Amino acid sequence: MKYKTELKWGFIFMASMLGWMILERLVGLHGTHIAKHPTYTNLFALVATAVYVFALRDKRNNDLNGKMSWKDGFLSGVIISVLVMLLSPLGQLIIHNIISPEYFSTVIKYSVEHGLQTQLEAESYFNLKNYIIQSTMMAPIMGIVTSAIVAFFLKTEIPKN
């Protein structure tokens, strides 16, 4: 299979995201510590970047015989990003129906009680449909940017002038 490595790492990325959501819930970021959620959830960017580093290293070392151009790494990362984008709706369904079904009601209540949003604003922002749209749009954007940067640092071939 031509894209075996990318498929593997796309699924690893999704598993790491679901694991992160379980961790967030267990430490109370979807409940008692909801006020801290916007800050700490951004730490997932470190995990996401690490997954791309490991994925492109895997691609370079196991598929490309230790030699990878920026373009090879970037294209591999783009394929992973597309897979993550395609899996994002399923990931959001799992997060909000299984891992943390009370998240939306909790964050809506917090936002309204603390004057951050009106009830209508909070309900229109914090819902499954909106989160599916956001995650599906952000996955390729963030994945492509991350791929470009990681591929630059992991390339082994210097372009010829």
pLDDT tens sequence across 120-145: 999 999 999 999 999 999 999 999 99
Please check the confidence at residue 159 and state whether its pLDDT lies above 70: no
Q: Within 13 Å of residue 58, how many CA atoms lie on the same side as its CB?
A: 18
- The average pLDDT across 94-112 equals 98
pTM of the model as a whole: 0.93
Rounded to an integer, the average pLDDT of 99-111 is 98
Average pLDDT over residues 11-37: 98
pLDDT the model gives residue 2: 87
Task: Give the phi and the psi of residue 147 in degrees, each rounded to 5.
Answer: -60, -45
| The predicted structure's pLDDT at residue 56 | 98
| Cα 78 from chain centroid (whole Å) | 13
What value does the mean pLDDT of the chain take? 96
Q: What is the mean pLDDT of residues 21-32?
A: 98
Q: How far apart are the first and last CA of the chain?
A: 34
Other Cβ atoms less than 10 A from the Cβ of 83: the count is 21
